[in-house]
């Protein structure tokens, strides 16, 4: 795990990349949120983010988030970005402030029900497999309208947008195509349901420029901020 000085330097470089990508895309850098991804790193990673004034962190496992959240009382928002198993939903709705990785109808309904039992409303994103990568979770484009309809009807969910992970692919254009597909899908869904989907969570360390060019409003960055994860 890197130290504090290195983190600040990495953060500076990431902000430069965001700014440059926004300039090239003719976008306002304020419109792109940086979500530091602290998974597989010690709680220090969370503390560094909080000290730097970042307001949220991304984790991909429920138990890891519970442990770190118990140590850090920094008032951050905790976002789940990894696949969620049915038997972990109860703990997930208790620990996370938003679930980005809603990738099946079953999961959507379960999050709704268990959030209701806790007397809360859970903000969610629908994860879309917009690159149609068979190794990735997420709704395929034909299923997403049905998922959106359910999410809008659910009493204890607040649908805020869409999330995708680009395919693992050698072809540098495939990420950009997946991001563009998500942006177009977002526009179609907004029109069809007359409901805004302001959040487009897309782009990571290796493909954030392509994501920003295609309209990302939140990039999820781990490696470029914290170095390699030792897993
Ligand atoms: C790990 C992870 C990231 C961060 O990836 P980096 O390449 O380390 O920036 C982003 N999104 C999701 C869903 C992840 O699981």
100 Cα nearest atom in ligand 1: 13
Q: Is 39 in the pocket of ligand 1 (CB under 6 A)?
A: yes
pLDDT in tens, the chain (231 residues): 999 999 999 999 999 999 999 999 999 999 999 999 999 999 999 999 999 999 999 999 999 999 999 998 778 999 999 999 999 999 999 999 999 999 999 999 999 999 999 999 999 999 999 888 888 899 999 999 999 999 999 999 999 999 999 988 778 799 999 999 999 999 999 999 999 999 999 999 999 999 999 999 999 999 999 999 865
Q: Is residue 163 part of a domain?
A: yes
Crossing angle for the helix pair 141-153 and 105-117, to the nearest 10 degrees: 20
Q: Is residue 64 part of a domain?
A: yes
Q: For residue 15, give every residue at least 6 positions away whose Cβ sits within 8 Å of its Cβ, in sequence order, or none.
A: 29, 34
How many alpha carbons fall within 13 Å on the CB side of residue 4?
A: 6
Closest-CA residue, ligand 1 atom 10, reads: 220
- How far apart, in whole angstroms, are the C-alpha atoms of residue 4 and residue 52? 10
The CA-to-CA distance between both ends of the chain, in Å, stands at 12
Give the residue numbers spanning the domain of 95. Answer: 4-226
Q: Is residue 86 part of a domain?
A: yes
Pocket test for ligand 1, best of 37, 137, 208, 224 (most atoms within 8 A of CB): 37
Q: Is residue 99 part of a domain?
A: yes
Q: Do residues 89 and 110 touch, judged by C-beta distance below 8 A? A: yes
Q: Is 49 in the pocket of ligand 1 (CB under 6 A)?
A: no
How many domains are contained in the chain? Answer: 1
Write down the pLDDT at residue 134. Answer: 87
40 Cα nearest atom in ligand 1: 1
Q: Is residue 231 part of a domain?
A: no
Q: For residue 171, give every residue at least 6 positions away whose Cβ sits within 8 Å of its Cβ, in sequence order, or none.
A: none
Count of Cβ atoms closer than 10 Å to residue 100 Cβ: 28
- The answer to whether the pTM exceeds 0.95 is yes
Q: Do residues 96 and 127 touch, judged by C-beta distance below 8 A? A: no
Q: How far is the CA of 37 from the centre of ligand 1 (A)?
A: 6
- The CATH number given to whatever domain includes residue 94 is 3.20.20.10
Q: Do residues 201 and 161 touch, judged by C-beta distance below 8 A? A: yes
What is the b/e burial string over 38-61, where b = at least 16 CB atoms within 10 angstroms of the residue's CB?
bbbbebbbbbbbbeeebebbbbbb
Write down the pLDDT at residue 231. Answer: 59
Closest-CA residue, ligand 1 atom 7, reads: 205
Q: How far is the CA of 95 from the centre of ligand 1 (A)?
A: 20
> Dmax over Cα atoms in the chain, in whole Å?
48
Closest-CA residue, ligand 1 atom 13, reads: 81
Determine the 3-state secondary structure of 228 from DSSP. Answer: coil
Write down the pLDDT at residue 135. Answer: 87
And the tokens for 179?
A: 């991001």
CA distances from 9 to 18, 20, 48, 120, 121 (A): 14, 17, 12, 38, 37
- How far apart, in whole angstroms, are the C-alpha atoms of residue 122 and residue 112? 7
Q: Is residue 180 part of a domain?
A: yes
226 Cα nearest atom in ligand 1: 8
Closest-CA residue, ligand 1 atom 11, reads: 220
- CA torsion, ordered 206, 221, 139, 145, to nearest 10 deg: -110
- How far apart, in whole angstroms, are the C-alpha atoms of residue 166 and residue 136? 9
């Amino acid at each position: 795990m890197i130290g504090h000085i290195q983190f600040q330097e990495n953060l500076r470089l990431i902000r430069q990349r965001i700014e440059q990508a926004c300039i090239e895309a003719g976008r306002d850098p304020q419109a792109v949120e940086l979500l530091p991804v602290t998974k597989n790193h010690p709680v220090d990673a969370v503390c560094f983010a909080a000290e730097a004034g970042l307001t949220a962190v991304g984790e991909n496992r429920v138990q890891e988030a519970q442990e770190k959240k118990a140590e850090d009382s920094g008032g951050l928002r905790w976002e789940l970005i990894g696949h969620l198993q049915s038997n972990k939903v109860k703990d997930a709705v208790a620990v996370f402030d938003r679930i980005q990785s809603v990738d099946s109808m079953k999961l959507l309904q379960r999050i709704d029900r268990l959030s209701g039992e806790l007397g809360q409303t859970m903000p969610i994103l629908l994860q879309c497999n917009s690159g149609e990568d068979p190794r990735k979770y997420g709704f395929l484009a034909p299923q997403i309208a049905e998922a959106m309809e359910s999410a809008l009807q659910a009493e204890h969910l607040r649908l805020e947008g869409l999330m995708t992970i680009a395919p693992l692919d050698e072809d540098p254009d495939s990420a950009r195509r997946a991001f563009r597909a998500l942006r177009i899908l977002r526009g179609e869904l907004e029109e069809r349901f007359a409901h805004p989907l302001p959040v487009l969570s897309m782009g990571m360390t290796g493909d954030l420029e392509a994501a920003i060019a295609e309209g990302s409003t939140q990039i999820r960055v781990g490696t470029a901020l914290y170095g390699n994860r030792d897993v």
